Amino acid sequence: MAIKKISISQFIEQAGEQPVIDVRSDGEYKHAHIPGAYSLPLFNDEERKIVGTAYKQKGKQPAIKLGLDFFGVKMKGMIEEAEKINNNHTSTTTASASRNNTFVVHCWRGGMRSAGVAWLLDLYGFDVYTIIGGYKAFRNWVLQQFEKEYQLNILGGYTGSGKTVVLNTLQKNGSPVINLEGLANHRGSAFGSLGEQPSQEMFENFLATELFLQRKSGQPIWIEDESQRIGKINIPNQFWKQMRSMPIQFLDIPFENRLDYLLKSYGQINKEVLVNSIIRIQKRLGPLETKTAIGFLVEENYKACFEILLTYYDKMYTKGLHNRANLPHLLNKIPCTFVDAISNTEKLISCATLNA
């Protein structure tokens, strides 16, 4: 068997069919990688640094010899790990039996690291492809996705409108959906982060991949109206500008009903987590409102605390909503009494169809 090279466009079209092996170091992989790729590093972070320094100071051949010292003792273990990856991928995908024992291997630029691991896997009997240009080519592809034009349905609504559950319902009904807060691992408000956020680069990788996949349906993609910043993550500027120019289907739900929904959804969150969340927005919330909200929280008066926060987020959303051109022609308010995913989704689809 011979190692075969594929372009980034060929790889994207068949992505998911074969397991992708990222042979960059642990640190490189953790920072950002191709979504779904498995990590099988040729060198760890320290070894990569040593080999890289040797390459710069002594040249290519001394660096290769040094790299072989690290690579040689790992060969058996890497083969065994590759077998585990292959078995895991086959059991969790619909890949046919004819595609077993096939890998796509890449490093940063499609250079010596991927060539070395590809040689080892090929020698053992795997069918191996390498990506021309490596991860760098994938990143160039990612950035190109944000320059394209998309058909978008923007889902608007104040905090507590249940936009995420509506997006989930739309997705279950077969509509193309991209959940930006899900990709960013952040709810976009003081009502809680979902945990550690990905790097900016990894978020962009997720978003570009989703845009490519969802666009295939030929239908408009549902996406939530967001400020450009979600936690520490920024929506790529060109794509965000496109979002801001699209019609907004706005779920218009009364304040009290949204407040009740938030109390049910977030009333059991750890008090310390909520306090820290409030402190993070204290400069914009103001010293008096911050002190008052935390005071209510200490007294376990969650309703009064959430009322302050919800009032603040309504003002922030209203400001962002109006800070766009041609709003009267973009905004379509959909009156909804309660935060009810099924009922509100039906109204949403009906209004979006009428206004298409």
Cβ-in-10-Å burial (0-12, 13-18, 19+) of 270 comes to exposed
Cβ-in-10-Å burial (0-12, 13-18, 19+) of 310 comes to buried
CA separation for the pair 257, 255 (Å, rounded):
6
CA separation for the pair 241, 67 (Å, rounded):
46
Residues 144/320, Cβ–Cβ less than 8 Å: no
- Helix segments in the chain, DSSP class H: 8-13, 26-31, 45-58, 60-72, 75-92, 112-124, 134-145, 163-172, 180-184, 200-215, 237-244, 255-266, 271-280, 282-285, 287-298, 302-322, 327-330, 341-354
Write down the catalytic residue from 107, 305, 336, 351: 107
Q: For the chain, how long is the longest CA-to-CA vector?
A: 72
Residues 126/82, Cβ–Cβ less than 8 Å: yes
Residues 262/160, Cβ–Cβ less than 8 Å: yes
Question: Pairing relation of β-strands 233-234 and 229-230?
Answer: antiparallel
Q: In what order do the strands lie in the sheet with 102-106?
A: 4-6, 127-131, 102-106, 20-22, 38-39
Q: In what order do the strands lie in the sheet with 177-178?
A: 177-178, 221-224, 152-157, 248-252, 331-335
CA separation for the pair 167, 224 (Å, rounded):
8
- Length reported for the chain: 356
Radius of gyration of the chain (CA): 25
Mark whether 107 is an active-site residue: yes
CA separation for the pair 180, 333 (Å, rounded):
22
Which positions are annotated as active-site residues?
107
